[in-house]
Amino acid sequence: MSERLAPNQRRLLLSIYVPPILVGLCKGMVLPVLPLFALSFEVSYGLVGALLAAQGMGNLASDLPAGVAMRRLGCKRSMVLGGVIIALSGLAMFFAQTLWEAIAYRLISGAGLGLWNISRHAYITDLVRIQARGRMNAGLGGVGRITAFVGPLTGGIIAGSLGLQVPFLIYGGVASLAVLATLGLVFSDSVSGSARRGDTPVGLRTVLRQNRTILMRAGTGALMAQTIRAARNVIVPLFAAEQLGLDAKDVGVIISASYAIDMLLFMPAGIIMDRFGRKFAYVPSFLIQSSAMAVIPFADSFTSLLAATLALGAGNGIGSGTMLTLGADLSPPQARGEFLGIWRFIGDSGHAAGPLIVGRAADLLGLMATPFIVAAIGLLGAGVLGLLVPETLVRDESVAKAKPVEGSS
């Protein structure tokens, strides 16, 4: 970490972890609720997938402009603005009367999430040296998994007791707390967006041209790998409700148990990344997830579905923070915001595609066949990342600072 920040390391750690904890709680609370909320409008699986994909689509659309905006606004202001958008759109969901209205609010929420994610990613990348980056990002991934354990259980209980819309009201309140935490904790003059305003801006086209080779290879693998992660949050609740007849509370328990396994493995994931290399974490992660996804159609009870989702959680836990770390390792310091905007766009394409693939495949082939399609995509992603992307862990920090990104000029 930077020596300038050494006396403030406690505040630095709080600034890195506290706001994401709160935003993660928001996201986790609605995981078991959204599919059931969509089904309450008596619509097709395709439209259920559209609602579940809406936030990802809004996120995707905002990634590239958010990467550029972050350089002008600075990371702190970007995070605050993103958090405000997330909070307001969550509150709006509480009042939604139609599915299309809900889709619009989730699109807006995604735009806020895009700005939030990119500014947070750049903030951590600038402040953490490469040899500790895996553990820091894995810790951040672990925070997400802890909140994903607590959130679905809480959201399921609230929805089952008070109605499917009440979790969105709480979502808005917790997101507001995240904004306050960002205002109080995040350094305002320490990262790419604000500290380097004197630098000549690098255009998106230039960044794409200079890094086209690595973005094509790593981006393709990340796109496929992130698809299986997103599809998991759609397939499990839909399969539980439609095939096994489980209610919101049971779905919440299953998802929370899966994320409980996730959160137990984030520390080993960080150690593996920083000690052995990034590939030793992300390749096994997506292989395990793909295998577990292919088992889901054979589940015939609460217990068997729980077992499959626990395996999904184990695979995802080993991959905690891997895509964040890979993107950070590859990002050039002179164009960090722009590169991370492109990187997030690629990864978020997978997140957005996951629910759409699930919804369309379920309509065409049936819900029982859909997990096999998603598993095949995950296997392809593991292959591309393992065989075509170079290892990015650099032992010597001076080499890491001097070494250009592959494909850059």
Both tokens assigned to 79? 């995070």
Both tokens assigned to 87? 């909070």
DSSP assigned state of 6: G
Q: Is the dihedral of CA 292, 144, 230, 285 positive or negative?
A: negative
One-letter identity of residue 288: I
Between CA 172 and CA 95 the distance in angstroms is: 12
Task: Express each pLDDT in 177-197 by its tens digit.
Answer: 999 999 988 877 544 544 444
10 CB-contact burial (10 Å; exposed 0-12 / middle 13-18 / buried 19+): exposed
| pLDDT at residue number 132 | 76
Residue 91: pLDDT above 80? Answer: yes
15 contacts 185 by C-beta, under 8 angstroms: yes
DSSP assigned state of 180: H
Between CA 390 and CA 277 the distance in angstroms is: 10
339 contacts 211 by C-beta, under 8 angstroms: yes
Both tokens assigned to 366? 């049936």
Between CA 164 and CA 51 the distance in angstroms is: 15
| pLDDT at residue number 234 | 83
91 contacts 168 by C-beta, under 8 angstroms: yes
- Average pLDDT of the chain is 82
Helices (DSSP H) in 265-335: which residue ranges?
266-275, 279-295, 302-318, 322-330
**Which whole-number Å values give the CA distances from 75 to 130, 165, 179, 308, in the listed order?**
20, 32, 13, 39
Task: Express each pLDDT in 148-159 by its tens digit.
Answer: 678 877 888 888
Task: Express each pLDDT in 249-305 by its tens digit.
Answer: 788 788 878 878 887 888 898 899 989 999 999 999 999 999 999 999 999 889 999
Residue 130: pLDDT above 80? Answer: no
For 4-101, strand residue ranges (E) read none
Least confident of 24-33, 105-114, 215-224, 343-352: 343-352
Residue with tokens 């095949």: 376
Between CA 306 and CA 6 the distance in angstroms is: 44
| pLDDT at residue number 189 | 55
User: What is the SS3 assignment for 367?
Assistant: coil
Task: Express each pLDDT in 360-383 by its tens digit.
Answer: 888 888 889 889 999 999 999 999
Q: Look up the pTM and report it.
A: 0.69
* φ, ψ of residue 314 in degrees (nearest 5): -60, -45
Between CA 39 and CA 306 the distance in angstroms is: 22
* φ, ψ of residue 72 in degrees (nearest 5): -80, -40
Cβ-based neighbours of 123, under 8 Å, separated by 6 or more: 15, 16, 75, 79, 186, 190, 191
Between CA 140 and CA 348 the distance in angstroms is: 17
Cβ-based neighbours of 366, under 8 Å, separated by 6 or more: none
296 contacts 305 by C-beta, under 8 angstroms: yes
Between CA 207 and CA 76 the distance in angstroms is: 23
Residue 121 CA, distance from chain mean position: 11
Residue with tokens 């066949």: 369
